[in-house]
Structure 1
Amino acid sequence: MEEKSSKIFGIRAVIEAINSGATIQKVYLQKGLTGNLFSELNTLIKKHSIATSHVPVEKLNHLSKNSNHQGVAATISPIDFHDLETILEGISTTDKTPLILLLDQITDVRNFGAIIRTAECTGVDAIVVQNQGSAPLNADAIKTSAGAAFKVPICRVDHLKDALFLLQASEINLVAATEKTDDTLFDVNFIQPTAIIMGSEHRGVNPSILKMVDAKAKLPLLGTIESLNVSVACGAFLYEALRQRL
């Protein structure tokens, strides 16, 4: 199933979209843009922690097919994002043991989509991503997810640490997938309420986040390649959690 993100153009149009509560995926701003309306837009962007990119006018011309964009374009996500606290409150009213997945700035949209698909297949209750620095939930990600993006609640937060504090307060064990440990994923107790943290493709889990977790675990690797693709590694972690719970 493929859904394309809607695009809107013009400063006033983007301002109205933000004020109306639309799920803005990203705002593209022409380099050097100034003026009162731009200042108003910039204030809204910062207030709502919307991802932005400062681009040359040629990029905007391409996005808008040379229509009047006024130096601003935005993409609106086809997916409605969820509130993590509300998700956790809902789980607490059931007998289900929480399984949450946090993605620490994974940037490849196909990795993102593949992870969403595996998360849906393994019963993950919610996926948490950070507003800035994460792969967009665009048509490619949704297509790769095989429609799972419409079934698994996806939550966006300003800072991943905010989500970690909330999970800790909910007595959910934080497990980071990292090579910086001697423990493997088979040493972790996934039967208890668990949040699994997967790191970015290039640097892994942020060191400041590693300091907050309850457990660190790695995949045993017998070959000469030092690491697996993050979506594959994520699948291994999620299926080990599922195996233990079954």
Structure 2
Amino acid sequence: MKDSQLIYGIRAVMEAINADQPINKVFIQKGLKGELMKELESTVRKNGISASYVPIEKLNRLTRNNHQGAIAQISPVQFQDFEKMVEQIMETEKMPLFLLLDQVSDVRNFGAIIRTAECSGVHGIIVPKNGGAPITDDTVKTSAGAAFNVPIAKVDHLKDAIFYLQASGVSITAATEKTDNEIYDVDFKKPSAIIMGSEEKGINPSTLSVVDNQAKLPLMGNIGSLNVSVACGIFLYEVVRQRR
């Protein structure tokens, strides 16, 4: 991790959070006490930022500078405000297409998905603040720079984002093997959003319960699933096929 991607020092990290810097994660030294540390922890929680408590050796490996027990990792991409992003897209696009990622955790999968999303005309990507892959240099590299071209918004809860999109007239389709419906049976010739699940667990069952459609890809071989970035590409290009 490059030093240019890091902010170190308790006050500096708090100032970055309060200035709405695009922070992926805060690393906090285990066992560190004090009023200033309590204030940092409160600021992190209040802003819904992911935090990890790590030994001092981890912080020392991240930077040789005086970190005071706190380091923030900065995203190379500026995130959008979710509601403003949706509102703008709904106003300017005749056939909006959104992509929601339910805790996709591998940064390279994330980058590959962003690249395919950009190529297939996705207007906005929505990810949860916690649990998903951060946008790192590896993500940007794998996306071939597409991470700078597609608006990406972080939300506290993916279900709330789904409800907001549905209220805006967007039909939500979940990519899941837990259905008999195939992707080719879904009508994408209307404002649509596709949800892709995590590499290990797929889409959260509570999220599946609120979508408009569930769809799967037909698998003809012996392997039971596809890589999430590959599956995402197939789903997105079915949307392209239908809309052409």
Same fold (TM over 0.5): yes
- Name 2:53's counterpart in structure 1: 54
Give the counterpart letter for 1:36 in structure 2: E
Q: Per-residue deviation at 1:6?
A: 1.4
Q: Secondary structure at the match of 1:143?
A: helix
Give the Cα–Cα distance (whole angstroms) in 2 for the partners of residues 5 and 208 of structure 1. 39
CA contact (8 A) 1:10 1:73 kept: yes
- Report deviation, 1:91: 2.4
RMSD of the TM alignment (CA)? 1.3
The one-character-per-residue Cα deviations of 1:62-95 (angstroms, maximum 9, x if unpaired) are 0013x32111111111211012221222123235
CA distance in 1, matches of 2:99, 2:66: 41
Counterpart amino acid of 1:22? Q
Rate the CA distance shift 1:160–1:95 in 2: closer, same or farther, 3 A. closer
Match of 1:45 in 2: 44
1:135 to 133, 136, 143: 133
- Alpha-carbon contact 1:116-1:145 (below 8 Å) kept: yes
Q: Does the Cα contact within 8 Å between 2:173 and 2:195 map onto a contact in 1?
A: yes
| Contact 2:3–2:63 under 8 Å retained in 1 | no
Q: How does 1:1-246 map to 2 (within 5 A)?
A: 6-65=5-64, 67-246=65-244
Corresponding residue SS for 1:93? helix
Deviation at 1:16, TM superposition (A): 1.2
Q: Structure 2: any 5+ residue segments left out of the alignment?
A: none
Instruction: Name the count of aligned residue pairs.
Output: 243
Shift of 1:12: 1.0
**Which of structure 1's runs of 4+ aligned residues deviate more than 3 A?**
none
SS at match of 2:206: helix
**Structure 1 residues 5 and 121, CA gap change in structure 2 (3 angstroms):** farther
| Structure 1 runs not aligned, ≥5 long | none
Larger mean Cα displacement after TM superposition, 4-13 or 229-238 = 4-13
Aligned to 1:198, what secondary structure does the other structure show? strand
- 2: CA distance between counterparts of 1:83 and 1:244? 30
Indicate the SS of the match to 2:169.
coil
Does the 8 A contact of 1:27 with 1:51 survive in 2?
yes
- Post-superposition offset of 1:34: 1.3
| Equivalent-residue separation in structure 1 for 2:67 and 2:180 (angstroms) | 53
| One-letter amino acid matched to 1:16 | E
Work out the percentage of aligned pairs sharing the same amino acid: 60
Checking the alignment, whether the CA contact within 8 Å between 1:4 and 1:78 is kept in structure 2 is: no
